[in-house]
Amino acid sequence: MRKLIFLFLFLNFYFVAYNQVITGTIFDIKTRSAIYSASVYFNGTSVGVLSDENGNFKLDISKYPSMPLTISAIGYYSVTLTDFSRVKPISVYMNPKLFELNEVTVNAKFHGLERSENLTIFRNEFLGTTRNSMNCKIINEDDIRFIFSADKDTLKAFATKPILIENRALGYNITYYLDKFEYDKQGKTFLFKGNIIFIDDSTIKDSKKQYFERKRNLAYFGSRIHFFRALWMNDLNSAGFTVRNSANEIISYEKIVYQKDNRTKYLRYPGELGISYLQKQATSFIIFLKQNVFFDSNGYFEPEGIIWEGEIAQQRIADLLPYDFSVKE
């Protein structure tokens, strides 16, 4: 009898472990043809694979079982899957960016000083203006195109290929699939969204590894990832964070976190939240776009559910860390 129970438990474990590897195929939604070399990954991590010549992929999701899956390819809108089969092969259909690419081709006649000015705006808003941004370089700036709205107030940017960034401040090579970039010249406001893959720079010499560890630790403390990891653990106070409402009242964990089960938590509050981090003596603000904003133990959160203002909002691509980052003591 014990042997039967052991065998049952072993088989159960085997199937659970096996189901952590998902498979699927990626297609063009219009032509139904397979898409080769599409990136299948967890946004904001270094975990991902490429589809083969038949559009097929296989990915181990054991590190991020509750995170959405992102699929990106040149010339297509990225697809984010929040609910997908862990057992059966999945089919992903991608929409081509044909209209936008045609629009860019027609309107991309910016040369000399005008293009230089647009690139400066793009770098400042996209990479940021922190100290780390000064050691970030966009490798393929020629693939970035600019157009203006009819009133000439809104600058839009498109990338015909993934944007490749060398972050020499934190020691990462970054691939960014840009879906949207808009900058309002009058209001000095901006919006950009897309998906990001991190690759640890393999050329880093051992003598510089400790330097990058220190720099990454500095970027981590007080960041979005740090906040949500501390929130998940109900450890905001020891981590140095204080959360207040618009009346400047300190808000407890129980008032802002809804826990569906042991693996599913949501941030929610009927108003704006102020986030203070002791070490940086600075305040950030969370403005909710959704009633419930999913977040995970690794620091991931639904980016479309929140607008950041204040200190954390200044942290752009140059200051981001992957969700698989861990603090080195």
Over range 225-235, report the average pLDDT: 96
Over range 150-156, report the average pLDDT: 78
The CATH number given to 2-96 is 2.60.40.1120
**Percentage with pLDDT > 70 across the chain:** 88
Say whether pLDDT at 319 is over 70: yes
Confidence label for 151 from pLDDT (cuts 50, 70 and 90): low
Tens of pLDDT, residue by residue over 30-86, are 999 999 999 999 999 989 999 999 999 999 988 888 889 999 998 898 999 988 877
Both tokens assigned to 45: 């991590």
- The residue extents of the domains of the chain are 2-96, 99-200, 221-319
Confidence label for 279 from pLDDT (cuts 50, 70 and 90): low
The rounded distance, in Å, linking the Cα atoms of 73 and 94 is 9
Of residues 7 and 140, the one with the higher pLDDT is 140
Q: Residues near 204 by Cβ (< 8 Å), separated by ≥ 6?
A: 171, 212
Over range 217-240, report the average pLDDT: 95
Q: Answer whether 38's CB lies under 8 Å from 72's CB.
A: yes
Give the helix ranges, DSSP H, for 127-161: none
User: Taking the model in full, what pTM does it have?
Assistant: 0.84
User: Residue 12, SS3?
Assistant: helix
Confidence label for 10 from pLDDT (cuts 50, 70 and 90): very low
| Model pLDDT, residue 263 | 81
- Burial label for 12, CB within 10 Å (0-12, 13-18, 19+), is exposed
The rounded distance, in Å, linking the Cα atoms of 43 and 27 is 20
Say whether pLDDT at 7 is over 70: no
Confidence label for 106 from pLDDT (cuts 50, 70 and 90): very low
Tens of pLDDT, residue by residue over 238-267, are 999 999 999 999 999 999 999 988 789 999
- Residue 287: which H helix or E strand, with range? strand 282-288
Say whether pLDDT at 187 is over 60: yes
| Model pLDDT, residue 280 | 67
| Model pLDDT, residue 278 | 84
Q: Answer whether 160's CB lies under 8 Å from 142's CB.
A: no
- Residue 175: which H helix or E strand, with range? strand 172-184
